[in-house]
A and B are shown apart, each in its own frame.
Chain A
Amino acid sequence: MSTLTETPAPHRQAPWFWLALGVIAWVAAYAALAPFADAVIASVGLTKQTHLGESVHFFFYDTPKVLLLLTGIVFVMGVIHTFIAPERTRALLSGRRLGVGNVMAATLGIVTPFCSCSAVPLFIGFLSAGVPLGVTFSFLISAPMVNEIALALLFGLFGWKVAAIYLGLGLSVAIVAGLVIGRLNMEDHLEDWVRVMQGTQSAEFDATNQSWAERLDAGLAHVKNIVGKVWPYILLGIAVGAAIHGYVPEDFMASIMGKDAPWWSLPAAVVIGVPMYSNAAGIIPIVEALLGKGAALGTVLAFMMSVIALSLPEMIILRKVLKPRLIATFVGVVAAGILLVGYVFNALL
């Protein structure tokens, strides 16, 4: 067993003053969003009564709003991540039974730092520490699907209700899919070398002894990393949304993906979504375009979940640890869950 030794960083005062200043600036900017957009269209001589004015106003209102929300939420998540290393999540889940364990795993999936390239080491790390297979799957489904970027973008573009629904449904899919996979007792369908690995010890990593200065640094680094990567998608998404907002007739997509669309429209959306691979930011422009043209929210959210949660590259990586039958079960169970969520959602609203 090897132990991780944290190299102590030189102690310095956390920049609380700058943090407070940043929060004040953030709140002030958020409060100034509508006046800002009004001023922009007024300065170029447009009014909200025209199509063009409406589109331009939408763009200059939504872009700063979404970027502000994203920056705020990503910063907070970056700081939270310093408290919850994957090693800690694993310790919390180790030996949990199905049920409680699945709920905890799905919830921890939201706050645990996760990169899809770490999916396989995490998977094995969890199993080897005695986290049951079904509980591990709940984590593996929830971590990429229900993340702060998806929630921040949904919140910024479509309001807190859509974000809350996505959060609730995403967690439900992760919990139920994990429970089902756990019940099927498919431990035999792990690759042999993975089963040998179970019970081996892993490095201990104590992330709790960081100073607040380091935690705030981590938050900033997270913002730089994430916002730096996703802003072009957001601009594109909002530009598409703005164009639709002003011009395209509302019910353009209604007959294919709307509430009164034929029954196969939802499965088709999920099936199309599986081989597609994108992160939450990349899919948002499409979501916005579909919703703007009258597609039903349940169908669109199901499509978004299937793009983010199930992807071919991920299957190929998972193939190293799972035998084909377990991968097929994983895809089948998750796709069925997403489908169910879509139907329920379309029926309720």
Chain B
Amino acid sequence: MQIKVLGTGCANCRNTIALIEEAARGKGVTIELTKVEDIKDIMNYGVMSTPGVVIDGKVVHAGGIPSRDKIDSWLK
């Protein structure tokens, strides 16, 4: 699955990426993780508060580090 993390490079965005990678390893799910740092691209997803998470083109989270439970629920 394709996961994109939207964020302008702040600490919360990096934490989010690390958390998702860790969760994916833990569950043995192969993911393709990309960072979206350009503000125009972020805005095009309609996300106002970063970090945001996009899975297969769909915004599933915005405005903070997602909880581990939430990440696990995405990685099915």
Which residues of A does B touch, CB under 8 Å? Answer: 1-5, 7, 9-10, 85-87, 90, 113, 115, 117-118, 120-122, 124-126, 128, 193, 197, 200-203, 205, 217, 317, 320-321
Closest to A217 in B: B67
A-B contact count (CB 8 A): 87
What number of B residues sit within 8 Å (CB to CB) of A? Answer: 29
Q: Is B4 an interface residue (CB 8 A)?
A: no
B46 and A122 contacting across the interface, CB-CB below 8 Å: no
Main secondary structure of the interface of B (DSSP, over half): mixed
B74 and A85 contacting across the interface, CB-CB below 8 Å: no
B69 and A121 contacting across the interface, CB-CB below 8 Å: no
Excluding A90-B48, A117-B13, 10 further A-B contacts by CB distance (< 8 Å) are A7-B74, A85-B49, A86-B48, A87-B49, A115-B12, A117-B8, A117-B11, A121-B8, A124-B43, A125-B48
B7 and A117 contacting across the interface, CB-CB below 8 Å: yes
Chain A positions within 8 Å of B46 at CB level: 1-2, 200-203
Which residues of B does A touch, CB under 8 Å? Answer: 7-13, 39-40, 42-43, 45-50, 58-64, 67, 69-70, 73-74
Give bound CA distance, A320 to B40, whole Å: 10
Chain B positions within 8 Å of A121 at CB level: 8, 39, 42-43, 47-50
Give bound CA distance, A200 to B42, whole Å: 13
Closest to A196 in B: B40
Chain A positions within 8 Å of B43 at CB level: 121, 124-125, 128, 197, 200
Give bound CA distance, A120 to B47, whole Å: 11
Chain B positions within 8 Å of A2 at CB level: 45-46, 58-59
B63 and A113 contacting across the interface, CB-CB below 8 Å: yes
Chain A positions within 8 Å of B61 at CB level: 4
A120 and B49 contacting across the interface, CB-CB below 8 Å: no
B39 and A203 contacting across the interface, CB-CB below 8 Å: no
Distance to closest chain B CB from A93 (angstroms): 12
Chain B positions within 8 Å of A90 at CB level: 48
